[in-house]
Amino acid sequence: MKKEYANRAAAPLAALAVAFAAVASAAFGGALDELMPRPRFAAPGADAMPKLPAHNTAGAYCLRVKNGVPGIEGDAEGRRYAAVTFDQLKKLAEAGGEKIPDCTICDWPELKYRGLLLDCGRNYQSVESILDIIDHLARYKMNVFHWHLTDNYGWRLESKVHPELQRNEAFSRQVGCYYTQDEFRKVLAYARERGVTVVPEMDMPGHTLAFRKATGISNLADERAKIVLGELIDELCSLAPAELMPIVHLGTDEARERGEKVPQTHLDWWASRVTSAGRELMGWSPGLRLPGQSIKHLWMGATDPRGDRTPYIDSQNSYYINHVDPEELLSVAAYQQPCRWGGTSEKLGAIIGVWHDDCIAKTEDVALMNAVYPAVVMLSDNFWRGRDKDEPGLYARLPPPGDPRFALAADLERRTLAHRDKIFASTGRPFPYVAQTHMRWRMTDAASGRILAEDIPQATIYPRHFWFPAGAYAPAPDGKVVLETWITSPCEMDCGAWIGATGFSRSDGRSRDAPTPRLGEWNKHGATFELNGEAIAPPVWKHPGQTGNPKETPLSDEDYWYREPSRIHLKKGVNHVRAVLPKKGGWKWIGTFVPVVMKNGHPVEVPGLRYSSRMP
């Protein structure tokens, strides 16, 4: 944001900021009520120490704090989590101007494995960025870092057995960027010190263009391919003992090209190299069949694993955050149940997927464009505590404020904002999330004017995800909806706004059906936004009208949260916002509008605004 814009926006808001902070502090109820993930038992006072549950699993702990001094009970893993909890409590209290509260906390994880996958095969990430992500996983009780090291664009792990994999000719993106074996060991050791297990993925036989270019093996059904990939697996396992690297992931998904079709004997051979080294074997499902009790890693389109008695890890649906809008994270974290499949399969855990397929301009773009840090904070609660019920109808929408289920999202958001403002504010890490549960929108059918939904508490709205009341008119598949809200401002002010009508995935997001908008458009179907009857002009796009999956053109301003906010002027009193969203065919039907200001380099809420879905 330009300096003059920031200064001009800040002046009329200065007086409001103090009042807003006081209200927020009172609503949050102090540091004990801001912990993330939320403990199962937490109460003021250090005298009511409950016992650990009889069914307690690894990682259970009890923490008693008295006069700022922690007392801890639990196994080695539990004591680590107790220390993480105390560190959070201390930081939240100090940032809020409180003393560390005397309290009693007893807690344990619902799932054994809770983590994040980072695709470094398509886009190399610096070691420093990886270590920082591991730091934040540990701070939010996540214990797995899934490291996707190989893909079509490059074989990113150094091989001394087959050094041809690091020849420049083998790379088709970020040429020569890979991790040395010493760097690999450094990451494993760093993670181990913080209670995080690194799961390396060497994807085969799909996603192996870099391997085939380097070795000259065009068909992986050849016996030589079986032997060479087996040697690479042996080399990988030689880099760390089994207790430090207990799981190896062999991918096995999307073997679609002719040269990637292999006989089952190849898969059995590669699997044997993993298990003979004392490691557990893990592979994608859907994917090629790996033998034995290998861990199934469920992803997009995964089938119900209940009948096969195999352990599994969940990365389904919106846990692939490269497909998710940052404001959508709240509904995912609140209402998607991890490991929702029951039956005879063993529920091991859940992993966030960060698959940034498109080329990046700089390393930091992956964390910003995929909202990695807000996702870690919010989904830590989802993975640690689990969810009592899966709510697929709420994955991309929040229930109305009168629905009893709404309280979960509101509480999760409140705690997320506490961490954004008290812990992340001074770190420089991107945290693209602002409050939305206080917003209220009305959605009507543009043709008939009939109201389809009211009191929608969201910043990003996907009309197709709404359940219209029985007998109510629903818009035609190629119809239009109108979104409206009335914002009451305590003073006249200039500020910014996150505005968007695109919603690109960072994985093949630009296509024939969803091109970048042309100059003068918000999207290709003519979406419009108005404030007090005046049209809000779209940005001057850097890549207007781009189509055809241009993966080698980095995303730059296509979505609202990684470009400069639009400038808007709010008058004192009531302001009317109106958005018209046409829909045609399979277009992603989406609209975002939320006023923001910048604080400590982060976009935050404009204080003092009140929203209504009816004209006051």
Which domains occur in the chain, in start order? 3-107 (3.30.379), 113-245+255-280+322-327+355-394 (3.20.20.80), 434-612 (2.60.120)
Mean pLDDT for each 10-residue chunk of the chain (616 residues)? 37 37 42 96 79 74 94 94 98 96 94 97 97 98 98 98 97 96 98 98 97 96 97 98 98 92 96 97 93 89 71 93 96 96 83 96 95 98 96 93 96 97 93 98 91 94 72 62 97 97 85 84 95 98 87 92 97 98 82 94 93 94
* Residue 37 preceded by cis peptide, ω within 30: yes
Distance in angstroms (rounded) separating the CA atoms of residues 429 and 431: 6
Spatial distance between the Cα atoms of 148 and 314, rounded to a whole number of angstroms: 16
- The radius of gyration computed from the CA coordinates of the chain, to the nearest angstrom, equals 25
Strands 441-445, 528-531: pairing is unpaired
CA-to-CA distance for 13 and 551, rounded, in angstroms?
41
Residue 243: is it exposed, middle or buried by C-beta count within 10 angstroms (0-12/13-18/19+)?
exposed
Q: Give the residue among 188, 117, 197 at the shortest CA–CA distance from 149.
A: 117
Phi, psi of 599, deg, nearest 5: -145, 125
- Here the tokens at position 590 are 């989406």
Instruction: Return the closest-CA partner of residue 446 out of 420, 483, 406, 409.
Output: 483
Give the tokens for residue 496: 């910014």
What pairs with residue 64 in β-bridges? 71, 104
Structure tokens at 41: 């038992």
Distance in angstroms (rounded) separating the CA atoms of residues 507 and 309: 32
pTM recorded for the entire structure: 0.93
- As a whole number of angstroms, the distance between CA 311 and CA 297 comes to 9
Contacts 24+ apart (CB under 8 A), 436-439: 436/327, 436/330, 436/398, 436/460, 436/594, 437/330, 437/398, 437/401, 437/406, 437/409, 437/410, 437/413, 438/611, 439/485, 439/594, 439/611
**Model pLDDT, residue 468:** 54
- Whether the CB-CB separation of 524 and 515 falls below 8 Å is answered with yes
The DSSP-derived string for 572-607 is: SEEEEEEEEEE--TT----EEEEEEEEETTEEEEPT
Is the Cβ–Cβ distance between 470 and 602 less than 8 Å? Answer: no
Query: What residue type is assigned to position 609 of the chain?
Result: L
Looking up tokens 């991107």 gives 430
What is residue 398's three-state secondary structure?
A: coil
Burial 525-552 (b: 16+ CB within 10 A, else e): bebbbebeeeebebbebebeebeeebbe
Task: Taking the CA atoms of 546, 496, 434 and 562 in sequence, report the sign of the dihedral they define.
Answer: positive
Cα angle 564, 570, 574 (rounded to 5 degrees) comes to 140
pLDDT at 293: 81
Q: Report whether 394 contacts 457 (CB < 8 A).
A: no
Nearest to 160, CA basis, from 184, 181, 186: 181
Which DSSP state fits 51? P
Return the sign of the alpha-carbon dihedral for residues 393, 396, 402, 404: positive
- The H or E element spanning position 314 is strand 312-314
Dist. CA 136–CA 132, nearest whole Å? 6
pLDDT of residue 517: 93
What is the total residue count of the chain?
Answer: 616
**Separation between Cα atoms, residue 575 and residue 594, nearest integer Å:** 13
Which 3 state secondary structure label does DSSP give 274?
A: helix
Distance CA(499)–CA(503), nearest Å, equals: 11
Give the bridge partners for 201, in sequence order: 148, 249
Establish whether the linkage from the previous residue to 205 is cis, with ω within 30° of 0.
yes
Rounded to an integer, what distance in angstroms lies between the CA atom of residue 205 and that of residue 91? 46
What phi, psi does 98 have (nearest 5°)? -105, 165
